[in-house]
Amino acid sequence: MVEDMTVLEREHVEFLPSREALGGLVNVNIVVPVNLAIAVLGSAALACQNAVGIIR
């Protein structure tokens, strides 16, 4: 008969986190998020503007 509480103490409980399948809005890498955001969106937008002569 198992009455040794030190044995019962080892009975294991694990909470699982809610499972959320993610989808990124932009291709931003955690290491250099801002650099990439600027590179992907900022420079592309600038290129568009330059191409059609909006700013310069």
Contact letters for other proteins, residues 11-30 (x by CB under 8 A): xxxxxxxxxxxxxxxxxx-x
DSSP structure class, residue 18: P
Instruction: Give the number of other CB atoms < 10 A from CB of residue 50.
Output: 12
CA 9 to chain centre: 37
Shortest separation between residue 6's beta carbon and other proteins, angstroms: 11
Is-contact 32 23, C-beta < 8 A? no
By the rule CB under 8 A, 6 interacts with other proteins: no
Binding region for other proteins (CB under 8 A): 1-3, 5, 8-9, 11-28, 30-35, 37-38, 41-42, 44-49, 51-52, 54-55
